Amino acid sequence: MAKDKSLLEDVSKYFTEETLQNIVGTLSNEDVKNVEVLSWDFGDANAKGDSYLSTVNKVTIKAKVKNQEKDVKIVVKSLPNNMGRRKTYRSADFFHNEIMFYTEIAATYEKYLKSKNQSSLLILPTCLAFHLDGENDYIALEDVSPLGFGQAARQSCLTLEQSSYMLEAIARFHGVSFAYKDQHKENFEKITSKIFETYFTDELYKNWYKRFHARLLEIAKDALAKEYPNSKGEKQFNSYPPGVLYKKSAEFCSQWKATTSVVNQGDSWAPNFLIRTNPTGKPEVLLLDFQLARCVSPVLDLSFFIYSCTDQTLREKHFDDLLKIYHNELSKTIKVLGSNPEKIYSWEQFSKEVKEQFVHGVTFGLESVTFGMLPADETFDLDVIKEDKVDIADVWTVQNIKTSEDRRRLAGIILHAADRGFL
């Protein structure tokens, strides 16, 4: 390790040795005067193609704190240096949302939960430093891997047990939002006004997602035709003209002022949950990646999670159980924070929104399930973009799914949605 300042400058001109000194001071609970940064080392935190909106690095800071040497580990997300990649994937929009989430929403929730003596309800990485100007953005977060947190496998479907404790974590996140909104409505509206919809709008469909969405529809239709020809699911899915499913999601994602709209994680699939087992043997779940955070029905997070992370066998046996697990934990969280879950989000209201909006999980799942099954050698090196900006369909050149098992995995979410009346 050495003091290679070019590594810091690659992140942002505002990511400096002084930034590292302040981070070490914060994590050591020491005045920065007692901190000397000795060196730093960068490692890539993502496989090629995994984090297309950001450059993600794991950084080890070697420092001396009150004359004692220590290593401090952080994760730093920054705008891609490749300007074509940055503009193609609208990285600045997503960075704005994530930084606003941590600095406005998460910070507010942290104080709120502390005042209720319920800090353990929500586990998020600590935001240690950031810069936001649309050109030099970065966010530095605590590296929680030394605390025992690890990621679920990117390609595997979850078991009932895994699904249950992740759903409970999502429910607690939503429950905090419901209770805070109930008790501090004016400030809730203020903090949620800091973020905006980054993925599903009519304008984004026309100018960003249209061709790629059409390709995803082709892949899904191919899977249905080969695995479930003439099925109810195939007929229902094929009856939708191009763009209609996306526009349904865009409509759901526009309802920020609805009574039951709360802060959603937005990208709630398995890679964005980290898990550890605490000393009592109970799993603890940490949520991360809030670049798609939005204020909408909690069913959008729920539907995306279930369709992206479970297989058809689990859904056929336990779908209703999963809904109950989620709603029970949500109600419990709202109640412990001092609000009335029956008044705020009853089972009846929840069931109504499941029926109306669960199709969102299909629409977004067309992307996540397809990507989640890509072999490592078929992911995309986004830094090959040489032009100023290209259509994402020209970078994400996804092929039809090769194996019957994987085609069934994708087609299964469509069959389930059709059987349940969501399509």
Residue that finishes a domain, picked among 113, 142, 171: 142
* 225 and 97 share one domain: no
Q: Is the distance from CB of 186 to CB of 179 less than 8 angstroms?
A: no
The DSSP secondary structure of 103-123, one letter per residue, reads IIIIHHHHHHHHHTT-GGG--
* 122 and 151 share one domain: no
* 65 and 196 share one domain: no
pLDDT at 82: 86
Q: Is the distance from CB of 220 to CB of 414 less than 8 angstroms?
A: yes
* 95 and 229 share one domain: no
* 88 and 155 share one domain: no
What are the structure tokens assigned to 95, written together? 């960075």
The DSSP secondary structure of 153-199, one letter per residue, reads PSSSPPPHHHHHHHHHHHHHHHHHHHHHHHH-HHHHHHHHTT----S
pLDDT in tens, 280-308: 888 999 999 999 999 999 999 999 999 99
Residue that finishes a domain, picked among 86, 113, 142: 142
pLDDT at 379: 66
Q: Domain limits at 78?
A: 1-142
**Positions of the chain with pLDDT under 50:** 47-50
How many Å apart are CA 77 and CA 141, to the nearest integer? Answer: 8
> Total structural domains in the chain?
2
Residue that finishes a domain, picked among 142, 157, 186: 142
* 234 and 271 share one domain: yes
> Distance from first CA to last CA of the chain, Å, rounded?
55
Q: Is the distance from CB of 360 to CB of 304 less than 8 angstroms?
A: yes
* 121 and 155 share one domain: no
pLDDT at 49: 40
Q: What are phi and psi of 296, to 5 degrees?
A: -150, -175
CATH code of 251's domain: 3.90.1200
pLDDT at 386: 73
Closest alpha carbon to 213 in 365, 2, 419: 365
* 133 and 159 share one domain: no
pLDDT at 2: 81
* 225 and 282 share one domain: yes
* 6 and 108 share one domain: yes
* 67 and 37 share one domain: yes
* 202 and 99 share one domain: no
